[in-house]
């Protein structure tokens, strides 16, 4: 039994478990271990999902960034309920998180935006994310124009580019086992703490 697996069986804190599992995924997963599926839905309940990257996490929740005028941004504005899924096939583990989103503060978003590669910051200005694009040349022209407008490294964060923090209410840890007898541990928020139980596979 590995150390990370032992943590799941004994820990009363899902963030402690997540820290161990993410560290193991970072060491062994050949793909990006921070990649996560983000599920959103409209006010009427029509769902959609896509892959985004985890850009920070602590006991407050799990943070990602994007264009607030994109489809995901529109849906999060209309319905703040969301879900995340991490899947790490190299270590046979999955984490499912359900909760609601809160906007990240401007100062926190500014710090992360300034850490991005320059071309990514220009791209945040150039892209009308999720909207029709005539051809790639249009996007390239926009980036070239922005490259002239902001010749140095001082590129401000666009007003439509922001971060969201997923505040978890349920966190499930899934561990692959032979014959589909997988191990599942569910943490549910209970007051200021968490209640844990095992689930049938």
- For residue 169 the two structure tokens come to 């209410």
Element (H, E) at 15: helix 14-28
- Which are the contacts of 22, defined by CB distance < 8 A and separation ≥ 6? 33
Please, what is the Cα angle at 84 between 174 and 194, to 5 degrees?
Answer: 65
State the Cα–Cα distance between residues 40 and 47, nearest whole angstrom: 6
Q: How far apart are CA 62 and CA 101, in angstroms?
A: 9
Contact present, 175 and 112 (Cβ < 8 Å): no
CA distances from 138 to 94, 127, 173, 176 (A): 39, 10, 44, 46
Q: How far apart are CA 171 and CA 174, in angstroms?
A: 10
Active-site residue, from 96, 141, 149, 180: 180
* Two structure tokens written together for 130: 């999720």
Q: Is 175 a catalytic residue?
A: no
Answer whether 35's CB lies under 8 Å from 29's CB.
no
Among all residues, which ones are annotated catalytic?
180
């Amino acid at each position: 039994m590995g150390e990370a697996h032992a943590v799941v069986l004994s820990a009363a804190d899902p963030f402690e478990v997540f820290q161990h599992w993410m560290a193991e995924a970072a060491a062994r997963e050949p793909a990006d271990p921070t990649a996560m599926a983000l599920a959103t839905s409209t006010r009427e309940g029509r769902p959609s999902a896509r892959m985004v990257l985890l850009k920070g996490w602590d006991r407050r929740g799990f943070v990602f960034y994007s264009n607030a005028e994109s489809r995901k941004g529109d849906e999060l504005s209309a319905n703040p309920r969301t879900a995340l899924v991490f899947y790490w096939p190299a270590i046979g583990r999955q984490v499912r998180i359900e909760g609601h989103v809160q906007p990240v503060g401007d100062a926190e978003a500014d710090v992360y935006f300034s850490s991005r590669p320059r071309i990514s910051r220009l791209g945040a200005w150039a892209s009308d994310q999720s909207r029709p694009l005539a051809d790639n040349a249009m996007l390239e022209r926009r980036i070239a124009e922005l490259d002239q407008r902001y010749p140095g490294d001082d590129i401000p964060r666009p007003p439509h580019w922001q971060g969201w923090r997923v505040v978890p209410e349920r966190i499930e840890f899934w561990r692959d086992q032979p014959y589909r007898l997988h191990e599942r541990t569910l943490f549910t928020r209970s007051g200021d703490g968490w209640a844990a139980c095992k689930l049938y596979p």
